[in-house]
Each structure stands twice: as structure tokens, then as C-alpha cells.
């Protein structure tokens, strides 16, 4: 008796030369060091620069935590650093999942309507229920992203044998995003108070959030990352095409559904907690694949390191470009990231 088809190994997609494979561990070490460096900068840099020794004393409880400088660390910089790590990891991995599921090199969570679903839910919470706190936004944003993903999957799944083609999935997401955005705009135009409350969340930022927001998002991010790390072989199979993946015994629909759940949890949690952060989910997969090849078993964990590095770097940059004020991280990622991504697209070797 032959072994069941589902036990057939699935090779990683081609395209990672030996020189790239040898760089995987150095790439991981470099990203980890960069993450530590920008996290430290996140605690030190701002309108009120602080000495490293003082920050260390605050974190270890060696000085009075009620002093103004200590409160800057514990009430402002530490929460936004923690949230940036969580949201950056979630968005980076979500971008890998979105591109792998759709086999579309310019896919990101927004292409599936997740950002607009979260935005509409937040606006409904503000306009209809009077929600006016970030804690409330988290739950509405997450629920909206989840509902949008279910609707997109339902619409796109009405195809041959119930399978979801990448093109159908992308088109369904784009159509839903356009429809939800128009509804959101209509609600905001008819409710000025809702617009005033919504615009603070909509800009995309890790500032102004306390550790309570990070604590609410953390279980979802951790669960989503754990599920996403099991998706490496699934995405490798999907990268070969649905028919080839089935020939290896893969249940394509199940694989795409599992990856989709991880995508919804990660993108929903990050968007709900920090608002829509542009560019990260789009660019992180390309940068990581450039460093370490196309094997998703390697790309996924590296994306969980690269995402926080970019988001923390954007947050720190936003604090120093217009002192004593600051530019929100979502604005920095869009302004800096869009031209960089255009350059990546023009260099076709990045689109593996």
C-alpha cells in the first residue's frame, strides 16, 4: 500500500540561490540586532532626549517613577515601543500571507478589504454607540476586519469546485474595499463629531496608546503569529499553483483558509490597535525575500523581525523631523515607503 498523498513533501518554490540561502542566519541576526537598536532609540529619542542610563534606571525601578522624565518613559515611550513591535510583526507577516495566498507580489492586507472593514466598524461604533476611546476602537476594528474577510472569502469562493482563485480573491477584496470606503465616507460627512473622533485613529500611529491597548492586541498577535508560522509549507505549495499543489496532495482550499485566518487575526489586531499603517505589509515581504530567498518557512519568521524594525524606525523618524512636534508613523511609512516600493517594483528581480 502506498503512503497517503498528503504525506508527499512539498519543495520550496525555486529562486533562492545558494548564496542567498547562506545569508539566512546572518539576515536573522542582523534584523534582531536592528530591532534591538531601534527599540532602544524609541525609548531615548523624542522632544525630551533622555540618557540611556536614566532610561535603564527607570525600567529597573532604580529611580522615582513619578518624576516627569520617568513618566515620559513609562507612560509614553515604552507603550508605543511595545505596540510598534506587536503591530509591525503582525503587519509584516500579514503581508507575506496576503502575497503568498493570492500569488500577487503587490498584495497586502488592504487588498482584501481588511483595512476598510475595520474603518467602517470603528465609524459605526463612534456614530451609533458613542465609542470614543482607543480601547473601544480595538474591538470594533478587529470585528470589522474579520467580517470583511469572511465576506470576501464568501464572494470569491463561489467558483469552480468552491476554490478561490487569486484573481477572484483580489477582485472581490478591491470591490468590497471600494464599497465599504464609500459607506464610511457617507457616514463621516453626515456626522462631524464622528469624523473628529475617527481621524485620530485613521491616521495610523503608535503614539497616544497605553499599555492597555498593547495588552489587548497582544493575545491576537501572538496567536496569529503562531498560526502563521505553520503556513510556510502551505504557502510554498500555493506558490507552485493550485494544480501542482493538489498533485502533492495538498488540500488547497484548507491551506488557503488556514492562512486566511492567520491573516485576518494579524491584520485585524494591528489595524484595530494602531490604525491603518500603509506600506509595511506591502514592502516587508519583498525586502525579506531579497535577504533570504523565497522559502516561506524562512520568510515568515524574518518578516516578524523586519516589520517592527521598519515601524519603529518610522516612529523614531517622525519624532525628530519636525521638533518639538512629530509626524505620525503611518504618515512616515507612506511618504518614505511609497517611492521605495516603486523602485523595488521597477527592479523586477525583487518580484519573485
Where do the domains of the chain lie, and which CATH numbers do they carry? 11-350 (1.10.3470.10)
Q: Is residue 96 pLDDT above 90, yes or no?
A: yes
The whole-number pLDDT of residue 10 equals: 54
Contact of 237 with 10, CB cutoff 8 Å: yes
Residues 238-288: tens digit of each pLDDT: 888 888 888 888 888 889 889 989 998 999 889 888 988 888 898 899 889
Q: What's the count of helices (H) and strands (E) in the chain, helices before strands?
A: 16, 0
The whole-number pLDDT of residue 351 equals: 44
Band of the pLDDT at 311, cuts 50, 70, 90? Answer: very high
Mean pLDDT of all residues in 72-90: 94
- Pick the residue with more confidence: 326 or 343? 326
Q: What DSSP state is assigned to residue 66? A: T
The whole-number pLDDT of residue 282 equals: 86
Mean pLDDT of all residues in 82-102: 94
Residues 29-64: tens digit of each pLDDT: 999 999 999 999 999 998 888 899 999 989 888 888
Band of the pLDDT at 7, cuts 50, 70, 90? Answer: very low
The cell for 193 is 463629531
Q: Is residue 19 pLDDT above 70, yes or no?
A: no
Largest CA distance in the chain: 74
Alpha-carbon distance of 60 to 16, in angstroms, equals 44
Alpha-carbon distance of 274 to 276, in angstroms, equals 7
Contacting residues for 15 by C-beta, under 8 A, at least 6 apart: 293, 294, 352
The cell for 11 is 519543495
Q: Is residue 226 pLDDT above 70, yes or no?
A: yes
Residue 45 CA neighbour count, 13 Å, CB half: 20
Band of the pLDDT at 85, cuts 50, 70, 90? Answer: very high
pLDDT averaged over every residue in the chain: 84
Contact of 141 with 268, CB cutoff 8 Å: yes
Which residue has cell 517592527?
Answer: 308
The whole-number pLDDT of residue 162 equals: 47
Amino acid at each position: 500500500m502506498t503512503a497517503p498523498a498528503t504525506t508527499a513533501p512539498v519543495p520550496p518554490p525555486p529562486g533562492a540561490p545558494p548564496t542567498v540561502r547562506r545569508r539566512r542566519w546572518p539576515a536573522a541576526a542582523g534584523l534582531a540586532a536592528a530591532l534591538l537598536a531601534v527599540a532602544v532609540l524609541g525609548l531615548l529619542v523624542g522632544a525630551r532626549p533622555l540618557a540611556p542610563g536614566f532610561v535603564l534606571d527607570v525600567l529597573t525601578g532604580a529611580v522615582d517613577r513619578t518624576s516627569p522624565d520617568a513618566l515620559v518613559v513609562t507612560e509614553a515611550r515604552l507603550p508605543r515601543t511595545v505596540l510598534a513591535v506587536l503591530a509591525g510583526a503582525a503587519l509584516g507577516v500579514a503581508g507575506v500571507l496576503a502575497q503568498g495566498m493570492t500569488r500577487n507580489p503587490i498584495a497586502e492586507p488592504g487588498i482584501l478589504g481588511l483595512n476598510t472593514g475595520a474603518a467602517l466598524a470603528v465609524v459605526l461604533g463612534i456614530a451609533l454607540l458613542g465609542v470614543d476611546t482607543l480601547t473601544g476602537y480595538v474591538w470594533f476594528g478587529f470585528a470589522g476586519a474579520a467580517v470583511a474577510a469572511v465576506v470576501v472569502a464568501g464572494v470569491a469562493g463561489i467558483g469552480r469546485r468552491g476554490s478561490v482563485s487569486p484573481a477572484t480573491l483580489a477582485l472581490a477584496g478591491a470591490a468590497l474595499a471600494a464599497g465599504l470606503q464609500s459607506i464610511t465616507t457617507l457616514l463621516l460627512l453626515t456626522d462631524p463629531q464622528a469624523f473628529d473622533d475617527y481621524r485620530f485613529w485613521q491616521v495610523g500611529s503608535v503614539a497616544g496608546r497605553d499599555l492597555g491597548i498593547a495588552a489587548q492586541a497582544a493575545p491576537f498577535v501572538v496567536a496569529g503569529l503562531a498560526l502563521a508560522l505553520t503556513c510556510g509549507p502551505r504557502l510554498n505549495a500555493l506558490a507552485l499553483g493550485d494544480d501542482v499543489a493538489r498533485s502533492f496532495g495538498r488540500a488547497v482550499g484548507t491551506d488557503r483558509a488556514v492562512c486566511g485566518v492567520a491573516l485576518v487575526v494579524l491584520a485585524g489586531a494591528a489595524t484595530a490597535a494602531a490604525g491603518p499603517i500603509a506600506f509595511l505589509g506591502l514592502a516587508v515581504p519583498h525586502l525579506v525575500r531579497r535577504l533570504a530567498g523565497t522559502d516561506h518557512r524562512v520568510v515568515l519568521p524574518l518578516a516578524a523581525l523586519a516589520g517592527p524594525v521598519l515601524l519603529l524606525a518610522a516612529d523614531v523618524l517622525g519624532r525628530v523631523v519636525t521638533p518639538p512636534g512629530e509626524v505620525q508613523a503611518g504618515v512616515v511609512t507612506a511618504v518614505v515607503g511609497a517611492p521605495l516600493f516603486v523602485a523595488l517594483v521597477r527592479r523586477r528581480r525583487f518580484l519573485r
